[in-house]
Amino acid sequence: MKPEKTKLNFQNLNLLLICILPVIFLFFGIKKQSELHEKLMIQGIAIDLNHENNNNNYKLTVQAYDFKNPEDKNEPKIRVIESIGNTVSEALENLKKITGLTPLYSQNKIIIFSEELAKNGIIKIIDFFSRYYENRPSVKLRIAQNNAGDFLKIIPENNNKIIKASEIRDLVDEKSDTNILDFEKEVKTPISDACLMLLEKNSQNLIKCESTSIFNYDKLIKIMDKNNSIAIQILKNSPKPGIYVFDYNKNLISCKIETPKTKIKAKLNQENNLPEFDIFIKLNANLFESEQNFENIKSIEINIEKELNNNLKLLCEKVINESTKENCDLFKFGKILRNSNPKYFKSIEKDWKSKILPNIKYNIKINSKISMIGMNDN
Amino acid sequence: MLKDIQKFFFRTETNRESTRSKIKVEESLEKTLEFFQKEFDGGADLIIRKIKIFNSDAAIISVDGMINKDITNDIIKTIVNFNLNFKPQISNPKELYGEIRDKISAFPDQSEVFYYEDALNMILIGCAILVIDGQDSILVFGVQGFEVRSISEPTSEKSQRGSREGFVEVLRFNMALIRRRIANPKLKFETMQLGSTTRTYVSICYMNDRVEPEIIEEIKKRLKKCDIKSIMTSGCISPYLEEEGDLSLFSSVGLSERPDTVCGKIVEGRVAILVDSSPTALIVPYLFIEYFHNIDDYAMKPYFASLNRIFKIIAFFISILLPGFYVGFATFNPELIPSELLNKISLATGSTPFSLMLETLIIHFLYEILRESGLRLPQNLGHAVSIVGGLVVGDAAVNAGLIGAPTIMIVALTAISTFVIPNLYEPIALLRLLFIIAGGTLGIWGIMILFTVVLVNLCSKSNFGIPFTSPISPFGLFGMRDSIIRTSWKTLSKNKNKIQNMPGSVY
Amino acid sequence: MNQKIISVPQLITLFMINRLVISMTFGSSSINNHNIWDCIISSLLVFIITFILIIPMMILFKNNENLDITDINEKILGKFGKIISVIYAFYFLLSCTYTLSNFKIFIESVINPPISFLVLLTSIIIFACYSAAKGINAIARAGAIILFLTFFLLIMIYISLFKLIDFTNFRPFFYENYNSLTDGIFFMLSRMSCIPAMGMLLPMCFGNIKKGIITWNFLVLFLMSSMIFLVTGVLGELSDIKLFPIYTATSAAKISKFENLDSLYLGLWTAGIFLKLSLFLNLSSECLRKSFGRKSNKIIIFLLGIILIITNMFVKISNIMSGIFDTRFLFFMTIFTAFLVPLILLIIKKISKFKQEPEI
């Protein structure tokens, strides 16, 4: 049987589709796409306010890999490039004009804002980064003491190699770190606020990242020191707040605090119609070192636990006091109150941060457990 | 044996027989010889040995190289001895013919034919014929004795624990290899002649009680439609067994050189088609998942066999998708690659002059050229080619900075993965190139679109009413026990695992 | 007469792919409001409403088991029925256009990849035409594999997102107002293109259809509510601001070294869109084929494909287009094809039976 010649043969049409169209159409899709090595693989971005020129607001320092001119076969060349622009996106655009390479943001590890910039508000910049697809929402954010750009070009004295952006990122435990999405989540909600870790540099060019800077909306308002940061981490339920050193019978004891479980409950005081919060904290602490040898472990353990509870309670109270005084709702009191008393909260929602928050009352109960004592000398 | 041949010979329908009317054997020897000489047109391999039996002229006709000369000599000797030892009491050639047929040549494979065409066919398949002047029939002796390759392990389908026998080029031997494994009268062979020029014998082989008669009818119908002139290999008729209008890259006709594999399939209700002069049997209906099966799977422990199959499937996906993903991700979606890996890739491609897509395509072309050259060359030269290929393309190109080392590695990994499923080489080679182009032009979007198209193409395929992708989609738990995984023999032998029971089958 | 070619699980597969494609673009922009969390109640209500909407279609199908909606139209309404069938074809095409325009908005506003979108769109449509021509059976089988992969990836994303849930993000229901509830219902119902598709697909389907539809509806409920739950839990109020919150949430998911699972999810989403397009192109061409009495639907499919390409090129330009692309229009069309037409057909049939009976 021969197929009728008059009819259009769809078998051939299928064949055409299978073989030719894909190839032709896909080739039409080719746009000038820069190859991997023609890209400037950005590792870290530091943003400062520009004081030199009035026309340009921002000064950007970028740490990036340049694969076109590698140093040797195994290591790409790390370049630190500075550019200025009226906006951050303009400054980033200028990178191409400076280097001739297309910037690639998807491998970016960290964005550092200078303290000065953060005090003026960073929401516009965050907006840009969260809008731009290539920028991943998992990029970590930091505030830098003084100049942000300096942190991306540090060369330690004992080593000739520049400190990589990924190394700066890894100073903070990943689970308790804040990325763009987390920050945006808190800032874009009118009843909660965010905090970011602060980068500090000592005279020997060593970086440390212990303190926390707290924000009201998108503006930096206060910097909390190391111990306060631990309290913040505990209250924020971070899995690894860090090592806390305190005084016990005139001896320094250091504890590694782990897996705090913080529960905050809101209730309304019927008399003055103000919210009250009960904060229960349960945490594990590992005794790391002490200057004293313990004899009766059991009783001392209980004593240390008590001392630790007291110390941490004072710290937490201090942190909550200081932050609420600045109208900063770091610990989601607003959200908790809204979820438990929606009608009441709706009536005070507008005044929540300005009037109610600084006056809230709270009770903190801390239950710490020292699980690893280490050794005794008996 | 001769009677067998004759039996199916008379049943077969060839184009030639339908067009020509048969000519009866004439009594005159002269005319008979004239006929054969005319048919062979003075061909060098036609042997006509004229002898005299008593007073009658006679001739033994055969084709050179197709007969066993010892047996033929024996037959001639008996006839000639008869001539010498006995007094001439037989005057009539017909009497003489009868005497020779019934008494003298007591040869088991012996028959008589009455038409020239039949006699001609007998000669062509290696028989010798005896023509006696004045007799209107011809005596045929089955003395086939051509040189054949001995049965050996198939090189393309080796097995660790299966039998070491493989099909050979002779249809009869192959049929015997199958019959020896299935000693069941339900096993049926049906033979027909295909190819208007070569008139090759093709045998359909199945279990009578396991196959739906519709499938057999359909196979016969399709084979009869086959209007090919010459059949040199089983691959020639496999397109005719596919569904009409099927332009898929994948073939739904299975191939095997192993009698044990073929027997396994026959027992499951499939039909094997053996082609004379080809050591490869065709198996229909064939499922996509069977490409990943191996006779060794059934000899191993089920957990290991299942693991093996899963690895093979992964290797299949690696071999078609990996280069495409590599090009697509590195060009359009570098965010998907972990940074350390991306650094390595960028470092390697940093010094190369070509774009990543072009680079991958070039190495693929080079690889295909090397493969093809190594395949057809004598074995010693083949080694040389692989050394040169490995050294020049692999090492020197990377050192010279022409091609990135990760690209070489990707192509090598892809190539090795392909060898895991040698039967799928053809579609894989083409799809790989398409995926590289798709990935290099539209990134992950292009790859996903092409992947879905291939998937739809694969899923739309069905042969003899059984979906090609069964039992994965349409899904059937019953069929899954011997598909991606293999359950133990205890489970497998519980129910009749017939191919017609696959989900989505129309039977 | 229709052949029974697909099984009930395959039917569910086709509908689930359709739903996955839609759910990806679900966001505050599609519900004109700022509270996605309330939509979890909407999805529950839609679950109940769907059962009500299906009833006329199911009764119609029960009485004419082997006839699809176009056949029934023609049987009951005669020549006028052909016009209704053309409306069905138009609806299916409209649904395709909606999906594609959403795809376009998504790609251009969120990802902006360095590839020509026109080529991407054209190649998707052309290949969708090809697979539409391959038939429902092939689409359903391929769909099962794509759905399996998508669910596999979704489960991985769900697990990784589950750790990120912050329970303070779950607001009390209807904290602000009830608008998002109604808007959510409006959105989900206007995308309920599965019910009109049922009119075409049910006659081809074998197996326990009732059970299948109940399962499908439960799965839709589970999918929508789990997505809303996860997105709200992970993103909080941010989910009300983001254009495509479900995508934003997936971009936060990571499994060990592999952070950017959203790209993979997008790839599978593309495959889903592709299959949805092929299904609806096929259904649309079937409607047209039957109403014009042609033998092969291949030419119609390719013509429809060309129409799709052209409409998607000019979506933004024409004013008429923006009228058609209004969600209210789609809502009306969905209710019309899913509920009203089968209901009217049923009523006419009942009346004609009443009329006939006294004569006998």
In a domain, C276, yes or no: yes
Q: Does C208 touch chain B (CB under 8 A)?
A: no
Q: Does C110 touch chain A (CB under 8 A)?
A: yes
Instruction: Give ∠ CA B84-B87-B88 in degrees, rounded to 5.
Output: 100
**Residue A137: its pLDDT value, please?**
86
Could you tell me which residues come within 8 angstroms of residue C221 by beta carbon, excluding any fewer than 6 positions away? C43, C44, C46, C47
In 3D space, the residue among A67, A68, A94 whose CA is nearest the CA of residue A81 turns out to be A94
In a domain, C1, yes or no: no
The string of DSSP codes covering C124-136 is HHHHHHHHHHH-H
Sign of the alpha-carbon torsion through B256, B259, B263, B269:
positive
Nearest to C124 among B441, B449, B473 (CB): B449
> How far is residue B194's CA from residue B13's CA, in Å, rounded to a whole number?
8
> How far is residue B238's CA from residue B251's CA, in Å, rounded to a whole number?
9
> How far is residue C167's CA from residue C146's CA, in Å, rounded to a whole number?
33
Instruction: Determine the straight-line distance between the first and last CA of chain C, rounded to whole angstroms.
Output: 28
Tell me how far CA of residue C252 lies from CA of A135, A198, B35, B260, in angstroms. 12, 23, 88, 53
Nearest to B335 among A68, A74, A134 (CB): A134
Q: Which two tokens stand for residue A106?
A: 């998807």
**Residue C1: its pLDDT value, please?**
54
Region of A242 (left: φ > 0; alpha: ψ -120 to 50; beta: rest) is left
For residue C126, list chain A residues with Cβ-Cβ distance below 8 A: 17, 21, 25
**Residue B417: its pLDDT value, please?**
92
Is the peptide bond between B334 and the residue preceding it cis, with omega within 30 degrees of 0?
no
- The residue type found at C173 is F
Q: Does C343 touch chain B (CB under 8 A)?
A: no
pLDDT band, residue B98 (cuts 50/70/90): confident
Give A199→chain C minimum CA distance, Å: 25
Tens-digit pLDDT profile for residues C162-198: 888 988 888 888 888 888 888 888 888 888 889 999 9
Subunits with at least 3 CB pairs below 8 A relative to chain A?
Answer: B, C
Q: Which two tokens stand for residue C328?
A: 């209210």
In 3D space, the residue among C146, C163, C148 whose CA is nearest the CA of residue C256 turns out to be C163
For residue C119, list chain B residues with Cβ-Cβ distance below 8 A: 442
Tracing tokens 């109604």 back to the chain, one arrives at: C182
> How far is residue B399's CA from residue B401's CA, in Å, rounded to a whole number?
5
For residue A133, list chain C residues with Cβ-Cβ distance below 8 A: 110-113
> How far is residue C143's CA from residue C149's CA, in Å, rounded to a whole number?
10
Interface B-C: count of C-beta contacts within 8 A: 99
In 3D space, the residue among C334, C305, C16, C301 whose CA is nearest the CA of residue C149 turns out to be C16
Q: Does A3 touch chain C (CB under 8 A)?
A: no
Q: Does A14 touch chain C (CB under 8 A)?
A: yes
Question: Is the CB of B434 less than 8 angstroms away from the CB of A23?
Answer: yes
Query: Which of the pair, A25 or C269, is modelled with greater confidence?
Result: C269
pLDDT mean across residues, chain C: 85
Tell me how far CA of residue B180 lies from CA of B174, B296, B496, in angstroms. 10, 20, 22
Instruction: Sketch out chain A's domains with CATH numbers.
Output: 34-224 (no CATH), 227-378 (3.30.300.210)
Backbone phi and psi for residue A366, each to the nearest 5 degrees, phi listed first: -115, 130
Q: ipTM of the assembly? A: 0.92
Query: Which of the pair, B415 or B374, is modelled with greater confidence?
Result: B415
Q: Which two tokens stand for residue A338?
A: 């809204």
In 3D space, the residue among B124, B1, B4 whose CA is nearest the CA of residue B66 turns out to be B124
Asked if C281 contacts C129 with a C-beta cutoff of 8 angstroms, the reply is yes
CATH number of the domain residue C69 falls in: 1.20.1740
Give B15→chain A minimum CA distance, Å: 15
Residues 43-102 of chain C with CB under 8 A from chain A are none
Q: Is the pTM of this model over 0.90?
A: no
Residue B69 CA from chain centroid, whole number: 31
Question: Is the CB of B335 less than 8 angstroms away from the CB of A136?
Answer: yes
**Residue B42: its pLDDT value, please?**
78
Q: What is the pLDDT along chain A (378 residues), one digit of tens a residue?
A: 444 444 445 555 565 565 566 556 556 555 556 777 788 889 999 999 888 766 778 889 999 988 877 777 777 888 899 998 888 888 888 888 888 888 888 889 999 999 999 998 898 899 888 888 788 888 999 999 888 888 998 888 777 788 888 888 888 887 778 889 889 888 888 888 999 999 998 877 788 888 999 998 889 999 998 889 999 989 988 888 888 888 877 778 888 888 889 999 998 888 888 889 999 999 888 876 666 666 666 677 788 888 889 999 999 999 999 999 888 988 889 999 999 988 888 888 888 888 888 888 889 999 988 876 655 544
For residue C115, list chain B residues with Cβ-Cβ distance below 8 A: 332, 441-443, 445-446
Question: Is the CB of B449 less than 8 angstroms away from the CB of C258?
Answer: no
Give the highest mean pLDDT range of A125-134, B450-459, C66-75.
B450-459
For residue B457, list chain A residues with Cβ-Cβ distance below 8 A: 18
Give B334→chain C minimum CA distance, Å: 10
> How far is residue A40's CA from residue A26's CA, in Å, rounded to a whole number?
27
Indicate if the pLDDT at residue C128 is higher than 60: yes
Residue range B85-98: mean pLDDT, rounded: 72
Q: Which two tokens stand for residue A89?
A: 């996106």
- The residue type found at A48 is D
Interface A-B: count of C-beta contacts within 8 A: 77
Least confident of A17-31, B356-370, C98-112, C143-157: A17-31
Could you tell me which residues come within 8 angstroms of residue B379 by beta carbon, excluding any fewer than 6 positions away? none
> How far is residue C136's CA from residue C5's CA, in Å, rounded to a whole number?
8
Give B385→chain C minimum CA distance, Å: 40
Percent of chain B with pLDDT over 90: 21
- Among chain C residues, the shortest Cα distance to B449 is held by C271
Tell me how far CA of residue B395 lies from CA of A113, A222, B414, in angstroms. 47, 59, 18
In a domain, C355, yes or no: no
Domain encompassing residue C55: 6-350
- Among chain C residues, the shortest Cα distance to B473 is held by C141
**Residue B314: its pLDDT value, please?**
95
Question: Is the CB of B473 less than 8 angstroms away from the CB of C144?
Answer: yes
Give me the half-sphere count of Cα atoms (radius 13 Å) on the Cβ side of residue A124: 11
Residues 242-281 of chain C with CB under 8 A from chain A are 248, 251-252, 254, 259-260
Residues 429-468 of chain B with CB under 8 A from chain A are 434, 437-438, 440-442, 446, 450, 453, 457
Query: Which of the pair, B200 or B156, is modelled with greater confidence?
Result: B200
In a domain, C360, yes or no: no
**Residue B1: its pLDDT value, please?**
46
In a domain, C177, yes or no: yes
For residue C270, list chain B residues with Cβ-Cβ distance below 8 A: 445, 448-449
Domain extents for chain B?
A: 2-141, 171-286, 302-460
In a domain, C54, yes or no: yes
Give B224→chain C minimum CA distance, Å: 27
How many domains in chain C? 1
Question: Is the CB of B452 less than 8 angstroms away from the CB of C271?
Answer: yes
Backbone phi and psi for residue C31, each to the nearest 5 degrees, phi listed first: -115, 15
- Among chain B residues, the shortest Cα distance to C8 is held by B474
To the nearest 10 degrees (0 to 180), the angle between helices A88-99 and A123-131 is 60
For residue B442, list chain C residues with Cβ-Cβ distance below 8 A: 115, 119-120, 123
Q: Which of B332, B335, B455 to mutate to test the interface with A (most CBs of A within 10 A)?
A: B335
pLDDT mean across residues, chain B: 84
Asked if B414 contacts B327 with a C-beta cutoff of 8 angstroms, the reply is no
> How far is residue A293's CA from residue C142's CA, in Å, rounded to a whole number?
71
In 3D space, the residue among A291, A361, A289, A292 whose CA is nearest the CA of residue A324 turns out to be A361
